[in-house]
Amino acid sequence: MLTNIPADKWLSLGIVDGRNIWKNNLNESAKIVEKCADALGPNKIMVAPSCSLLHSPIDLDNEKTLDDEFKNWLSFAKQKLAEVSILARAENEGPEEFEQEFADNAKAIQSRQTSERIHNDNVKKRVASLTPQDARRDSAFKERIKLQKAALALPLLPITTIGSFPQTMIS
């Protein structure tokens, strides 16, 4: 596929996922960047986020109450741009210049993949024991909706405050 790109064109690699809050796996992404650079030649690729970072939280540094383990798994807009920079500079300047950043990133990725916080054997066993019957309702929708309306007494068009709370200040 890379061979179909005309010699006078550049390739923008949207390699850093802008649609979530998790750190990018720099080692995996660097392999893709290197493969593309090898195929297209020097200075023919641009490293970028996969999309606008408009809806990403701005800066993880503003988060003062998150515990260190969880915070180390995250990457907000500012940190995602740093990931883009590291990947581009590692390709241009050589990966050995960024060994510490890649090692720290690999450690964070590994921590999230193995943390008991999100990998709970009891939950895995419970999920594995689910049967098709567990997905069935005991009553018909018409019965459930009557009970819900009676219990909640919501107006015809209920609204929420999600999105209306004050946002993080930009410093």
What are the pLDDT digits (tens) for 138-168? 999 999 999 999 999 988 888 777 666 666 6
Strand ranges inside the chain, DSSP E: 11-16, 45-49
Six token digits for residue 165? 């709370």
CA 32 from chain center: how many Å? 18
Place of tokens 């809806």: 55
Give the confidence band of 125 by pLDDT, cuts at 50, 70, 90. Answer: very high
The secondary structure of 65-97 as a DSSP string is: SS-HHHHTTB--HHHHHHHHHHHHHHHHH-GGG
What are the pLDDT digits (tens) for 5-23? 888 889 999 999 999 999 9
What are the pLDDT digits (tens) for 29-63? 999 999 999 999 878 999 999 999 998 999 999 99
pLDDT (0 to 100) of residue 80 = 98
pLDDT (0 to 100) of residue 54 = 92
86: closest CA among 24, 42, 12?
Answer: 24
Over residues 80-95, the mean pLDDT reads 96
Integer Rg of the chain from CA:
23
pLDDT (0 to 100) of residue 164 = 63
pLDDT (0 to 100) of residue 149 = 93
Collapsing DSSP to helix, strand or coil, 7 comes out as coil
pLDDT (0 to 100) of residue 152 = 93
- Average pLDDT over the chain reads 92
Q: Tell me the C-alpha to C-alpha distance, in Å, between residue 47 and each of 1, 8, 11, 166.
A: 18, 18, 9, 33
Strand ranges inside 10-169, DSSP E: 11-16, 45-49
pLDDT (0 to 100) of residue 171 = 59
Six token digits for residue 39? 């195929």
Say what the pTM is.
0.75
Q: What residues pair up with 156 in beta bridges, in sequence order?
A: none
